[in-house]
Structures are given as C-alpha cells and as structure tokens.
Amino acid sequence: MTEEKIQTAALDLEDILITERELLLAGRARDAAELSGEKLVALEAFENAFGGRTPVAVSPQTRQLILDVIQLSEENALLLNAVRNGVRSLIGRFEGPADDAFVGSYRMGGRQVAFSHATGQYFKRV
C-alpha cells in the first residue's frame, strides 16, 4: 500500500513538472509560476507518502520513477534560472544608459544621432 502511495504521488508530481517544463519551453513563465501552489501540494504529498521509508525500500520501477521526478525537477530549475537571468538582463538594459539608442534623427551622410548625443535642437520639416 505504501509503495502505491509513493507511485501515485510521484506520478502526480511528474505530471505537474512536465506541464511546467512545457510552459517554460513555450516562454509562458507566468503560467508556469501559477503551477507553484499545485506543485507544492503534490510535493508535500510525495514527501508524506514515504513516511519512514527510504527510496532503497521500494521496487526498481518505483525507484526509476523517483529518479525521473528528480531529473525533471533539476531540468525545470535550470529553465527557471534561465528565465530569471533573462529578466535580469532585460531590467539591466532598461536601467542602463541608452548609448545604443537612436532618436530617429540623422546627421549629414546618413548616420543616426545617438540618444546620448541628442541636444533637443531638432527642426520639424513640413
């Protein structure tokens, strides 16, 4: 009976982790974050299913299922880390100086005027 509880809890957690991975790979980090409550409940059920038993006390099939859940968790952690790094990079770009931004005005010869060199002395052509 305990092994059945472990398998059920592991399969439930695996389903959530697979859904989370698919959402992260699709660029839907917000939707993946909405799974956190459901994932926490499944993780608690998974931990409680063990009781006093260790993974050594289960069958090889259940052990492999547990290893699959661990692998999925690690892969999702890497994807979430990549999302976090991307968001940090984006924030840094917004906070940093706009040396590479252009005002939409051009110098003689066709070169764009960088935003950092804009002085506000532009004439409107009609």
Structure confidence by residue, pLDDT tens digits, 59-105: 889 989 999 999 999 999 999 999 999 999 888 877 766 555 555 56
More confident residue, 7 or 115: 7
Q: What is residue 82's predicted lDDT score, i.e. its pLDDT?
A: 94
What total of structural domains would you count in the chain? 2
Note the pTM of the prediction, 2 decimals: 0.70
Say if CB 81 and CB 22 are below 8 A apart. Answer: no
More confident residue, 82 or 123: 82
Regarding whether 34 and 90 lie in a shared domain, the answer is yes
Task: Tell me the C-alpha distance between 84 and 73, whole Å.
Answer: 16
Residue-wise pLDDT tens digits, 13-60: 999 999 999 999 999 999 999 999 999 999 999 888 877 656 557 888
Regarding whether 59 and 34 lie in a shared domain, the answer is yes
For residue 102, what are the domain limits? 97-126
Regarding whether 107 and 89 lie in a shared domain, the answer is no
Regarding whether 104 and 44 lie in a shared domain, the answer is no
